[in-house]
Structure 1
Amino acid sequence: MNKMNSLPRERLPELQLVRAFAIIGVLSVHSTSYAVSAMTDSKYFFIYNFMNIFMKYGTPTFIFLSSLVLFYNYYDRPTTKKLIGGFYKKRLLYIIIPYTLFSVFYFGLLHYLHYQGRPFGETMESFIQKLLTGKAYTHLYFVFISIQFYVLFPLVLWLFKKMPRLAKWAIPIGLVIQWTFILMNKYYWQVPNKGSWALSYIAYFMLGAFIGIYYPKLKAWLVISRANAQPYRIAAWTMLWIAWAAAGLGHVYIYYNNRLHGTGYNSTLYELLWNMHTYFGALVLLQFAILFYRAGVRGWTPALERLGAVSFGIYLIHPFFLLVYRQFPLTTGNSILTHLWYAGGFAAALGCSWIVVELTVRYIPGSWVIFGNIPKAKRSGKPTDTPAVPLSGS
């Protein structure tokens, strides 16, 4: 083991803020999904389109962050059967069991609403197929992707520890694999539900692995501070944020033209802008969270830390509250009330989900079965070894 990796690993409490920002992004996208279809005639359509596209950093950021924490915690530890066994035990208890429970819940809900006359055999076949592909409800594909990365993680960890030089190439390896999959799938394979497979997000996984492994050495590049403000670092930070903003606004622009004017673009352009926007965005969010945490904004930092801690539970339950909320659409033609109603969808998804998760964790024994291993008390700030998906950690 080299000298750099023998250094003690510091606590990274700001990672909870990254989770908080990521779950806000997820809720923003989901709560505006109806509005971007219904509000094309509104002069404020650009706002809905912006919130729906620019905030799409949530899913990739969770994958990036999960990988970062896993490699940060595990890379310096001996890779033993006990370690790997404990790793998979935690995933089974705190990820797969809640995922299965919510798959049953959402599948049963949709069956009640739309498929009551379906034969039992056909229903069970459909459920098993959806459970094994993350399709029981629209958002569960992401947990399915995370489970794939859990299967992959010990192998990648072993390879990077066995061949440390390979770890230094994690970023280009991830980008090459992801884009090979994207292009081969476009022109040859045409895999159904491409977005449900880990190869669609492996660049983020590898980016997180690289930063998790080399964080002590990269810290001066990641932490924006007066002490780290060398000219070449300032130039790198500026280029990163400009590239992120340009890619994000470009991503928003092509969707705006497509949705409002029917302008067609090559599918590869959508993939490229999405990848650049969210890839750079994961790093920007990490830098912003560090800045925010160090600023110690009174009242906001503890609330965001707690939001990050309960984010997995919020991710699992929030579509239910959106579904209920949308059962009561406004019938008024008042534009102000209409805008408030759409904003209320976000508030209901966040507020109701947060309340239910907190009450469940506080008062129901064995709540980990439902929402994973969410702590009752404020977390100490030490990065846990199990955050994936909008996981707080477990």
Structure 2
Amino acid sequence: MNNSQALGLRRERLPELQLVRACAIIGVLSVHSTSFAVSAMTSSQYFWTYNFLNIFMKFGTPTFIFLSSLVLFYNYYSEPITLKRISGFYKKRLLYIIVPYTVFSVFYFGLLHYLHYQGRPLGETMESFFTKLLTGKAYTHLYFVFISIQFYLLFPLILWLLKKMPRLARWAVPIGLGIQWTFILLNKYYWQVPNKGSWALSYIAYFMLGAFVGIYYPKLKAWLTICRTHATPLRTALWIILWLGWIAAGLGHVYVYYNSRLYGTAYNSTLYELMWNLHTYLGVIVLLQLASLVYRGAKPRVTDGLMRLGAVSFGIYLIHPFFLLVYRQFPPETGSSLMMHLWYAGGFAVALMCSWIVVEITVRWLPGSWVIFGRVPKSKSTGQQQDIAASRSLRT
């Protein structure tokens, strides 16, 4: 972490954020690995299970955006804005985000070209590639990286505004929600921007929530961390309301899609937006609290494994669709429902384990692996190990 020159203090480590990243990537893999099942298993008595996993776990992308913003504002807000720091910020994003994004855009575009477009003229192919590269559409999951790049471009401006007008930072949450919902409604009734989910305004509420938590984390920590020492009657009541609200919003989100997919029930598109936003917006805070509980209370083997999963999550995100694509080429040639359930479950396992293994081997043995998977630590730092030991010794 950085030294806070403005406060003269060393910023507290937040290693539990790796656990939130682990939860987020598990959510992404759950959604992607069940995407075929929710279409093919509508006649199964277990359709509700697939629908639940496909919808309730849709917190992955919002959580990653929230975490990215939290870390940025936590590290940069108390520091002076200088040309050196801003140029360093952009250099890191260019090397560790944009370069891997470009590499995988080429990879997936080439793969799809080989599978479906071998007869396409070269000029049309190149035009298609650059259009998709510049819009995050080279493959279905790359929109998230494209959104992140947009937020990186906006970050120095938003940072400057919030530092210039500190009172504005206190209103970051309603400002973010206001901008996002203004965009949603104007787009619905007037603009009708195609692929609006690929634009930062569709997620700016999560970015601004991350900014708020990152800026005020020292003051918010007692409210965010569930433990005996922080448990006043008011905080306990708010924790219960938060978790119950998240569960209710998540189940409502699942229910809407269940009726729509199984019975063809037509709902207003704004309801889908609202349920998704409520579910995932409350969910990012719940995951932050859950990660803190796991970090302080779980067995070392569990915590260490999840923290490593969080550390390699960006690489897993980039490559996992390739393994799902290959896996789905070999469905079971049987009418057994048990085999189909096992096959769908196997998709999640293959996407997770094969991706994780490839990322680990690449990072460990391939020089310049950052070009492919970004900046991935080879192992936990000593400081992180000390943090874990200290946290477990408290068990508060």
In the superposition, the TM-score normalised over structure 1's length comes to 0.95
Count of aligned positions = 381
Is the 1:171–1:203 Cα contact (8 Å) retained in structure 2? yes
Q: What residue is the counterpart of 2:392 in the other structure?
A: none
Residues 95-147 of structure 1 deviation map (CA, whole Å, 9 limit, x = unaligned): 00000000000000000000000000000000000000000000000000000
Match of 2:230, SS state, is coil
Q: Whole-Å Cα distance in 2 between the matches of residues 379 and 150 of structure 1?
A: 26
Question: Which one of the candidate residues 290, 293, 313 is aligned to 2:295?
Answer: 293
Shift of 1:3: 12
Q: Whole-Å Cα distance in 2 between the matches of residues 297 and 138 of structure 1?
A: 36
**2:232 corresponds to 1:230:** yes
Distance 1:131 1:177, change over 3 A: same
**2:369 corresponds to 1:378:** no
Q: What residue is the counterpart of 1:12 in the other structure?
A: 14
Is the 2:96–2:375 Cα contact (8 Å) retained in structure 1? yes
Q: What residue is the counterpart of 2:274 in the other structure?
A: 272
Q: Whole-Å Cα distance in 2 between the matches of residues 150 and 254 of structure 1?
A: 34
Is the 1:12–1:381 Cα contact (8 Å) retained in structure 2? no
Q: Which structure has more helix as a fraction of its residues? A: 2
In the superposition, the TM-score normalised over structure 2's length comes to 0.95
Distance 1:3 1:242, change over 3 A: farther
Match of 1:316, SS state, is helix
Q: What residue is the counterpart of 2:115 in the other structure?
A: 113
**Amino acid across the alignment from 1:57:** F
Q: What residue is the counterpart of 2:207 in the other structure?
A: 205
**Amino acid across the alignment from 1:336:** L
Q: Whole-Å Cα distance in 2 between the matches of residues 205 and 277 of structure 1?
A: 16
Q: Whole-Å Cα distance in 1 between the matches of residues 5 and 15 of structure 2?
A: 25
- Superposed, 1:76-91 pairs within 5 Å as 76-91=78-93
Shift of 1:296: 3.3
Is the 2:5–2:78 Cα contact (8 Å) retained in structure 1? no
Cα RMSD between the aligned structures?
1.3
Shift of 1:9: 1.8
Q: Flag as ranges the 4+ runs of structure 1 deviating above 2 A.
A: 2-8, 379-382
Q: What residue is the counterpart of 1:304 in the other structure?
A: 306
Residues 183-233 of structure 1 deviation map (CA, whole Å, 9 limit, x = unaligned): 000000000110000000000000000000000000010000101110000
**2:198 corresponds to 1:196:** yes
Match of 2:229, SS state, is coil
**Amino acid across the alignment from 1:358:** E
Gaps in structure 1 of 5+ consecutive residues: 383-394
Q: Whole-Å Cα distance in 2 between the matches of residues 227 and 218 of structure 1?
A: 14
Q: Whole-Å Cα distance in 2 between the matches of residues 303 and 275 of structure 1?
A: 30
Q: What residue is the counterpart of 1:351 in the other structure?
A: 353
**2:342 corresponds to 1:340:** yes
Shift of 1:6: 5.5
Q: What residue is the counterpart of 1:385 in the other structure?
A: none
Question: Which one of the candidate residues 272, 285, 306 is aligned to 1:283?
Answer: 285
Q: Relative CO higher for 1 or 2, CA cutoff 8 Å, sep ≥ 6?
A: 1
Q: Whole-Å Cα distance in 1 between the matches of residues 322 and 54 of structure 2?
A: 19
Question: Which one of the candidate residues 310, 314, 317 is aligned to 2:316?
Answer: 314
Q: Whole-Å Cα distance in 1 between the matches of residues 299 and 267 of structure 2?
A: 42
Residues 262-294 of structure 1 deviation map (CA, whole Å, 9 limit, x = unaligned): 001000000000000000000000000000001
Shift of 1:78: 1.1
Is the 1:4–1:216 Cα contact (8 Å) retained in structure 2? no
- Superposed, 1:177-192 pairs within 5 Å as 177-192=179-194
